Protein backbone atom coordinates (compact mmCIF):
# COMPACT_ATOMS: atom_id res chain seq x y z
CA UNK A 1 0.00 0.00 0.00
CA UNK A 2 1.26 3.44 -0.84
CA UNK A 3 0.25 6.52 0.99
CA UNK A 4 -0.37 9.74 -0.85
CA UNK A 5 1.10 12.70 0.86
CA UNK A 6 -0.76 15.95 0.83
CA UNK A 7 0.95 19.25 1.30
CA UNK A 8 -1.58 20.69 3.64
CA UNK A 9 -2.49 18.81 6.80
CA UNK A 10 -6.10 17.80 7.11
CA UNK A 11 -8.01 20.48 8.97
CA UNK A 12 -9.49 19.19 12.19
CA UNK A 13 -13.17 20.09 12.61
CA UNK A 14 -12.52 21.82 15.92
CA UNK A 15 -9.50 22.77 17.93
CA UNK A 16 -10.73 20.55 20.72
CA UNK A 17 -8.49 17.84 22.08
CA UNK A 18 -10.19 14.88 23.72
CA UNK A 19 -8.86 13.48 26.97
CA UNK A 20 -10.24 10.52 28.96
CA UNK A 21 -11.94 11.87 32.04
CA UNK A 22 -12.56 9.86 35.21
CA UNK A 23 -15.42 11.37 37.28
CA UNK A 24 -15.82 9.17 40.38
CA UNK A 25 -19.05 8.76 42.34
CA UNK A 26 -19.01 12.08 44.23
CA UNK A 27 -18.85 14.12 41.04
CA UNK A 28 -22.10 12.39 40.02
CA UNK A 29 -23.88 12.96 43.34
CA UNK A 30 -22.89 15.62 45.88
CA UNK A 31 -20.33 17.48 43.73
CA UNK A 32 -22.17 17.82 40.44
CA UNK A 33 -21.26 21.51 40.53
CA UNK A 34 -17.57 20.61 40.46
CA UNK A 35 -18.09 18.49 37.36
CA UNK A 36 -20.38 20.84 35.45
CA UNK A 37 -18.12 23.86 36.02
CA UNK A 38 -14.94 21.93 35.18
CA UNK A 39 -16.30 20.43 31.97
CA UNK A 40 -17.49 23.85 30.81
CA UNK A 41 -14.22 25.55 31.79
CA UNK A 42 -12.18 22.86 30.01
CA UNK A 43 -14.30 23.22 26.89
CA UNK A 44 -13.63 26.96 26.92
CA UNK A 45 -9.94 26.08 26.81
CA UNK A 46 -10.40 23.68 23.89
CA UNK A 47 -10.36 20.48 25.93
CA UNK A 48 -13.10 17.87 25.76
CA UNK A 49 -13.15 15.87 29.00
CA UNK A 50 -14.50 12.57 27.64
CA UNK A 51 -16.10 10.49 30.35
CA UNK A 52 -14.52 7.03 30.36
CA UNK A 53 -17.15 4.46 29.29
CA UNK A 54 -17.99 1.86 31.94
CA UNK A 55 -15.77 3.48 34.57
CA UNK A 56 -16.03 1.98 38.05
CA UNK A 57 -15.20 3.11 41.57
CA UNK A 58 -11.55 4.15 41.96
CA UNK A 59 -11.28 2.04 45.13
CA UNK A 60 -11.88 5.11 47.34
CA UNK A 61 -8.80 4.76 49.52
CA UNK A 62 -5.42 3.45 48.39
CA UNK A 63 -4.71 0.32 50.42
CA UNK A 64 -1.26 0.49 52.02
CA UNK A 65 -1.14 -3.20 52.93
CA UNK A 66 1.51 -5.22 51.09
CA UNK A 67 -0.69 -8.18 50.31
CA UNK A 68 -4.03 -6.54 49.61
CA UNK A 69 -4.07 -6.61 45.83
CA UNK A 70 -7.84 -7.07 45.54
CA UNK A 71 -8.30 -3.44 46.58
CA UNK A 72 -6.20 -2.27 43.63
CA UNK A 73 -8.27 -4.08 41.03
CA UNK A 74 -10.82 -1.26 40.75
CA UNK A 75 -8.24 1.34 39.77
CA UNK A 76 -6.49 -0.94 37.29
CA UNK A 77 -9.78 -1.82 35.61
CA UNK A 78 -10.28 1.88 34.90
CA UNK A 79 -6.87 2.00 33.22
CA UNK A 80 -7.99 -0.85 30.96
CA UNK A 81 -11.01 1.27 30.01
CA UNK A 82 -8.63 4.06 28.93
CA UNK A 83 -6.78 1.55 26.74
CA UNK A 84 -10.13 0.53 25.25
CA UNK A 85 -10.94 4.17 24.45
CA UNK A 86 -7.80 4.17 22.34
CA UNK A 87 -8.61 0.74 20.86
CA UNK A 88 -12.07 1.91 19.80
CA UNK A 89 -10.83 5.25 18.49
CA UNK A 90 -12.69 7.41 21.03
CA UNK A 91 -9.37 9.12 21.66
CA UNK A 92 -6.15 9.03 19.66
CA UNK A 93 -2.94 7.95 21.36
CA UNK A 94 -4.14 9.56 24.53
CA UNK A 95 -2.95 7.73 27.61
CA UNK A 96 -3.64 10.56 30.02
CA UNK A 97 -6.48 10.05 32.46
CA UNK A 98 -7.72 13.27 34.04
CA UNK A 99 -9.51 13.41 37.37
CA UNK A 100 -11.18 16.21 39.28
CA UNK A 101 -11.80 14.53 42.64
CA UNK A 102 -8.64 14.70 44.75
CA UNK A 103 -9.44 11.37 46.45
CA UNK A 104 -9.87 9.53 43.15
CA UNK A 105 -6.71 11.19 41.85
CA UNK A 106 -4.69 9.97 44.82
CA UNK A 107 -6.06 6.43 44.72
CA UNK A 108 -5.70 6.03 40.96
CA UNK A 109 -2.21 7.50 40.81
CA UNK A 110 -0.96 5.53 43.83
CA UNK A 111 -2.25 2.29 42.34
CA UNK A 112 -0.78 3.12 38.96
CA UNK A 113 2.64 3.68 40.52
CA UNK A 114 2.41 0.46 42.45
CA UNK A 115 1.62 -1.72 39.44
CA UNK A 116 4.03 0.13 37.15
CA UNK A 117 6.83 -0.52 39.62
CA UNK A 118 5.82 -4.06 40.44
CA UNK A 119 5.38 -6.39 37.48
CA UNK A 120 4.37 -9.30 39.68
CA UNK A 121 1.51 -7.36 41.23
CA UNK A 122 0.33 -6.25 37.82
CA UNK A 123 0.43 -9.81 36.52
CA UNK A 124 -1.65 -11.08 39.44
CA UNK A 125 -4.23 -8.36 38.87
CA UNK A 126 -4.29 -8.95 35.12
CA UNK A 127 -4.73 -12.68 35.75
CA UNK A 128 -7.68 -12.03 38.04
CA UNK A 129 -9.23 -9.81 35.36
CA UNK A 130 -8.83 -12.49 32.71
CA UNK A 131 -11.90 -11.33 30.86
CA UNK A 132 -10.31 -7.93 30.21
CA UNK A 133 -7.37 -7.10 28.03
CA UNK A 134 -4.17 -6.80 30.09
CA UNK A 135 -3.28 -3.42 31.49
CA UNK A 136 -0.05 -2.43 29.77
CA UNK A 137 1.03 0.09 32.40
CA UNK A 138 1.01 3.07 30.06
CA UNK A 139 -1.74 5.24 31.50
CA UNK A 140 -0.73 8.53 33.11
CA UNK A 141 -2.98 9.80 35.89
CA UNK A 142 -3.27 13.59 35.94
CA UNK A 143 -5.16 15.95 38.15
CA UNK A 144 -7.11 18.64 36.31
CA UNK A 145 -4.88 21.31 37.91
CA UNK A 146 -1.82 19.68 36.32
CA UNK A 147 -3.56 19.71 32.97
CA UNK A 148 -4.24 23.44 33.39
CA UNK A 149 -0.63 24.04 34.34
CA UNK A 150 0.54 22.19 31.23
CA UNK A 151 -1.68 24.44 29.09
CA UNK A 152 -0.09 27.45 30.77
CA UNK A 153 -1.64 29.93 33.16
CA UNK A 154 -0.93 32.75 30.66
CA UNK A 155 -3.23 31.02 28.17
CA UNK A 156 -5.87 30.78 30.88
CA UNK A 157 -5.50 34.51 31.56
CA UNK A 158 -6.02 35.22 27.87
CA UNK A 159 -9.36 33.36 28.05
CA UNK A 160 -10.62 35.42 31.02
CA UNK A 161 -13.53 37.67 30.11
CA UNK A 162 -14.54 38.78 33.58
CA UNK A 163 -11.47 39.04 35.84
CA UNK A 164 -12.24 38.18 39.46
CA UNK A 165 -11.04 41.63 40.48
CA UNK A 166 -11.13 42.35 44.18
CA UNK A 167 -12.22 38.83 45.11
CA UNK A 168 -10.04 37.61 47.97
CA UNK A 169 -9.75 33.83 47.85
CA UNK A 170 -7.68 31.55 50.07
CA UNK A 171 -6.62 28.41 48.17
CA UNK A 172 -7.00 25.29 50.29
CA UNK A 173 -5.17 22.13 49.24
CA UNK A 174 -5.82 19.41 51.79
CA UNK A 175 -3.65 16.31 51.54
CA UNK A 176 -4.75 14.20 48.60
CA UNK A 177 -3.09 16.22 45.82
CA UNK A 178 0.07 16.83 47.88
CA UNK A 179 0.98 13.63 49.66
CA UNK A 180 2.79 11.28 49.42
CA UNK A 181 5.42 13.18 47.49
CA UNK A 182 5.61 10.74 44.56
CA UNK A 183 1.88 11.22 44.02
CA UNK A 184 1.64 14.93 44.87
CA UNK A 185 1.40 17.55 42.15
CA UNK A 186 3.08 20.38 44.06
CA UNK A 187 5.41 21.23 46.94
CA UNK A 188 3.78 19.43 49.89
CA UNK A 189 4.85 22.16 52.34
CA UNK A 190 4.25 25.26 50.26
CA UNK A 191 1.96 24.49 47.31
CA UNK A 192 1.31 27.28 44.82
CA UNK A 193 -0.61 25.76 41.91
CA UNK A 194 -4.03 27.02 43.01
CA UNK A 195 -2.58 30.44 43.85
CA UNK A 196 -1.19 30.69 40.32
CA UNK A 197 -4.55 29.73 38.85
CA UNK A 198 -6.44 32.24 41.02
CA UNK A 199 -4.01 34.99 40.02
CA UNK A 200 -4.46 33.99 36.38
CA UNK A 201 -8.20 34.48 36.85
CA UNK A 202 -7.62 37.97 38.26
CA UNK A 203 -8.45 37.15 41.89
CA UNK A 204 -6.43 38.11 44.96
CA UNK A 205 -4.93 34.93 46.36
CA UNK A 206 -4.73 34.95 50.15
CA UNK A 207 -2.04 32.80 51.72
CA UNK A 208 -2.69 30.98 54.98
CA UNK A 209 -0.54 28.45 56.85
CA UNK A 210 -3.68 26.32 57.18
CA UNK A 211 -3.87 25.70 53.43
CA UNK A 212 -2.54 22.15 53.84
CA UNK A 213 -3.82 21.30 57.34
CA UNK A 214 -6.11 18.27 57.49
CA UNK A 215 -9.84 18.97 57.07
CA UNK A 216 -10.74 15.96 59.22
CA UNK A 217 -11.36 13.67 56.27
CA UNK A 218 -13.72 10.74 56.99
CA UNK A 219 -13.95 11.64 60.68
CA UNK A 220 -16.85 13.71 59.40
CA UNK A 221 -19.01 10.58 59.43
CA UNK A 222 -18.66 9.80 63.14
CA UNK A 223 -16.90 12.75 64.78
CA UNK A 224 -18.57 15.90 63.55
CA UNK A 225 -17.15 17.89 66.45
CA UNK A 226 -13.54 17.17 65.57
CA UNK A 227 -14.17 18.16 61.99
CA UNK A 228 -16.04 21.30 62.99
CA UNK A 229 -13.06 22.41 65.11
CA UNK A 230 -10.61 21.74 62.27
CA UNK A 231 -12.87 23.58 59.85
CA UNK A 232 -13.12 26.49 62.27
CA UNK A 233 -9.30 26.75 62.47
CA UNK A 234 -8.91 26.64 58.71
CA UNK A 235 -11.75 29.03 57.91
CA UNK A 236 -11.18 31.57 60.68
CA UNK A 237 -7.46 31.82 59.93
CA UNK A 238 -8.24 32.43 56.29
CA UNK A 239 -10.63 35.18 57.38
CA UNK A 240 -7.96 36.75 59.59
CA UNK A 241 -5.74 36.97 56.53
CA UNK A 242 -8.54 38.79 54.74
CA UNK A 243 -10.06 35.97 52.68
CA UNK A 244 -13.70 36.23 51.65
CA UNK A 245 -13.93 32.64 50.45
CA UNK A 246 -11.99 29.39 50.06
CA UNK A 247 -11.16 27.49 46.89
CA UNK A 248 -10.50 23.76 46.73
CA UNK A 249 -10.42 20.75 44.38
CA UNK A 250 -11.37 18.05 46.88
CA UNK A 251 -15.05 17.14 47.37
CA UNK A 252 -14.39 15.74 50.85
CA UNK A 253 -12.52 18.89 51.96
CA UNK A 254 -15.30 20.94 50.39
CA UNK A 255 -17.92 19.04 52.36
CA UNK A 256 -16.04 19.37 55.65
CA UNK A 257 -15.26 23.06 55.18
CA UNK A 258 -18.57 24.10 53.61
CA UNK A 259 -21.36 21.95 55.10
CA UNK A 260 -19.74 21.65 58.54
CA UNK A 261 -19.99 25.44 58.93
CA UNK A 262 -23.42 24.65 60.35
CA UNK A 263 -21.71 22.93 63.32
CA UNK A 264 -18.97 25.59 63.43
CA UNK A 265 -21.61 28.28 63.75
CA UNK A 266 -23.36 26.50 66.60
CA UNK A 267 -20.07 26.08 68.50
CA UNK A 268 -18.74 29.55 67.72
CA UNK A 269 -21.71 31.90 67.48
CA UNK A 270 -19.52 34.86 66.43
CA UNK A 271 -18.24 33.01 63.39
CA UNK A 272 -19.29 34.53 60.05
CA UNK A 273 -20.09 31.99 57.37
CA UNK A 274 -17.89 32.01 54.29
CA UNK A 275 -18.38 30.38 50.85
CA UNK A 276 -16.22 27.47 49.75
CA UNK A 277 -15.77 27.23 45.98
CA UNK A 278 -14.56 24.53 43.70
CA UNK A 279 -11.84 26.42 41.88
CA UNK A 280 -13.51 25.43 38.60
CA UNK A 281 -16.62 27.42 39.59
CA UNK A 282 -14.39 30.49 39.76
CA UNK A 283 -12.94 29.61 36.34
CA UNK A 284 -16.44 29.37 34.88
CA UNK A 285 -17.31 32.83 36.21
CA UNK A 286 -14.05 34.39 35.04
CA UNK A 287 -14.48 32.82 31.58
CA UNK A 288 -17.95 34.35 31.38
CA UNK A 289 -19.64 30.96 30.91
CA UNK A 290 -23.36 30.37 31.32
CA UNK A 291 -24.60 30.27 34.89
CA UNK A 292 -26.17 26.82 34.39
CA UNK A 293 -22.72 25.29 34.89
CA UNK A 294 -22.01 27.09 38.20
CA UNK A 295 -24.19 24.79 40.32
CA UNK A 296 -24.32 27.11 43.34
CA UNK A 297 -27.43 25.30 44.60
CA UNK A 298 -25.10 22.52 45.78
CA UNK A 299 -22.88 24.88 47.80
CA UNK A 300 -23.91 24.93 51.45
CA UNK A 301 -22.93 28.56 52.08
CA UNK A 302 -24.45 30.46 49.17
CA UNK A 303 -21.63 32.25 47.31
CA UNK A 304 -23.99 34.43 45.26
CA UNK A 305 -24.20 37.42 47.65
CA UNK A 306 -20.39 37.71 47.65
CA UNK A 307 -20.19 37.41 43.86
CA UNK A 308 -23.00 39.94 43.43
CA UNK A 309 -21.24 42.40 45.73
CA UNK A 310 -18.26 42.24 43.36
CA UNK A 311 -20.53 42.52 40.31
CA UNK A 312 -19.29 39.15 39.06
CA UNK A 313 -22.78 37.71 38.66
CA UNK A 314 -26.13 39.40 38.19
CA UNK A 315 -28.43 40.02 41.10
CA UNK A 316 -31.07 37.31 41.52
CA UNK A 317 -34.44 38.07 40.01
CA UNK A 318 -32.98 40.74 37.78
Residues engaged in binding other proteins (CB under 8 A): 23, 25, 28-29, 54-57, 59, 70-71, 73-74, 77, 128-129, 131
DSSP per-residue letters across 197-215: HHHHTTPEE---GGGGS--
Q: Least CB distance from residue 273 to other proteins, whole Å?
A: 25
Of 77 and 212, CB closest to other proteins: 77
Query: Do 143 and 61 contact (CB within 8 A), yes or no?
Result: no
Query: Rounded to an integer, what distance in angstroms lies between the CA atom of residue 79 and that of residue 71?
Result: 14
Q: Least CB distance from residue 254 to other proteins, whole Å?
A: 18
Q: Least CB distance from residue 54 to other proteins, whole Å?
A: 6
Rg (the chain; Cα; Å): 21
Of 255 and 287, CB closest to other proteins: 255
Q: Least CB distance from residue 55 to other proteins, whole Å?
A: 8
Residue 248, CA distances (Å) to 31, 193, 275 in order: 12, 11, 11
Of 10 and 130, CB closest to other proteins: 130
Of 128 and 213, CB closest to other proteins: 128
Q: Any alpha helices (H) in 192-291, and if so which ranges?
A: 193-200, 219-222, 224-240, 251-254, 261-267, 279-286
Of 123 and 267, CB closest to other proteins: 123
Query: Rounded to an integer, what distance in angstroms lies between the CA atom of residue 208 and that of residue 171?
Result: 8
Of 23 and 216, CB closest to other proteins: 23
Q: Least CB distance from residue 69 to other proteins, whole Å?
A: 10
Contacts of 8-12 with C-beta under 8 Å, sequence gap 24+, read none
Query: Do 310 and 225 contact (CB within 8 A), yes or no?
Result: no
Q: Least CB distance from residue 274 to other proteins, whole Å?
A: 27
Amino acid sequence: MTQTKTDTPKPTPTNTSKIPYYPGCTLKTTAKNFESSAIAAARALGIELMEIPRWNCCGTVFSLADDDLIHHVASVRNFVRVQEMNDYGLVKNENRLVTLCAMCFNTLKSTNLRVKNNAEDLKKINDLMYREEDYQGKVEVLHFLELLKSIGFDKITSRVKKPLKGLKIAPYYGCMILRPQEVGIDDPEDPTIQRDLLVALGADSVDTPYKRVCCGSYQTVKEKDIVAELAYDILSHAQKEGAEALATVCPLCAFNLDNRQKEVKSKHPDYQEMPVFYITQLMAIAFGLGKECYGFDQNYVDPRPLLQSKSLIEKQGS
